[in-house]
């Protein structure tokens, strides 16, 4: 491992120390490594194209989502979407988890289309492998 130094504000350091305690990290470096891995997992496919991205996409949406448009979109990307889990959370909200595998550019395209759907309240993705 290499040693790097960084400059951060007192308040950010205080938040980091709080999370270090709450999440059980043994030191600040471990907490910072965890944070960096999270950022890489979340953002890397947005900047780096890759052929074999494995990821999950989690979408929380409400009744106003056009179900036909959503279903068509998912059929358009059926090469990418390996499986899909749908949960009716309550009378108005649904949660969907898609497991995807394929090209990073195509995955990005799908994420952007899903995110732009009216009624999509939250959309997150997590890359689990990008070898
Ligand atoms: Ni539902």
Model pLDDT for residues 61-106, shown as the tens digit of each residue = 998 899 899 999 999 999 999 999 999 999 999 999 999 999 888 9
Q: How far is the CA of 39 from the centre of ligand 1 (A)?
A: 30
Q: What token pair was written down for 62?
A: 């409400």
pLDDT of residue 47: 61
- Cut 0.75: pTM above it: no
Model pLDDT for residues 22-71, shown as the tens digit of each residue = 999 999 999 999 999 888 777 766 666 677 888 999 999 998 899 899 99
Q: How far is the CA of 32 from the centre of ligand 1 (A)?
A: 37
Q: How far is the CA of 130 from the centre of ligand 1 (A)?
A: 30
Other residues' Cβ atoms within 10 Å of the Cβ of residue 111: 20
Strand order, beta sheet including 53-62:
81-88, 93-102, 53-62, 120-129
pLDDT of residue 46: 61
> Of 42, 106, 97, 57, which Cα lies nearest the Cα of 77?
106
Q: How far is the CA of 122 from the centre of ligand 1 (A)?
A: 15
Q: How far is the CA of 68 from the centre of ligand 1 (A)?
A: 13
pLDDT of residue 81: 97
Q: Is 123 exposed, middle or buried (0-12, 13-18, 19+ CB in 10 A)?
A: middle
Q: How far is the CA of 76 from the centre of ligand 1 (A)?
A: 20
Q: How far is the CA of 101 from the centre of ligand 1 (A)?
A: 24
Q: How far is the CA of 121 from the centre of ligand 1 (A)?
A: 14
pLDDT of residue 16: 96
What span, in angstroms and rounded, lies between the C-alpha atoms of 40 and 50?
14
């Amino acid at each position: 491992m290499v040693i790097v130094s960084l400059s951060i504000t007192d308040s950010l350091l205080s938040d980091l120390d709080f999370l270090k305690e709450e999440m059980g990290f043994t030191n600040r470096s471990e907490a910072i490594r965890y944070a960096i891995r999270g950022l890489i997992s979340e953002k890397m496919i947005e900047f780096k194209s890759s052929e074999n991205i494995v990821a999950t996409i989690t979408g929380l949406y409400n009744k106003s989502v056009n179900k036909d448009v959503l279903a068509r979109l998912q059929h358009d990307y059926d090469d990418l979407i390996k499986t899909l889990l749908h949960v009716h959370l309550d009378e108005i909200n649904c949660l969907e988890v898609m497991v995807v595998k394929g090209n990073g550019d195509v995955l990005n395209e799908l994420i952007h289309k899903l995110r732009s759907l009216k009624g999509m309240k939250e959309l997150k993705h997590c890359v689990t492998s990008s070898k």
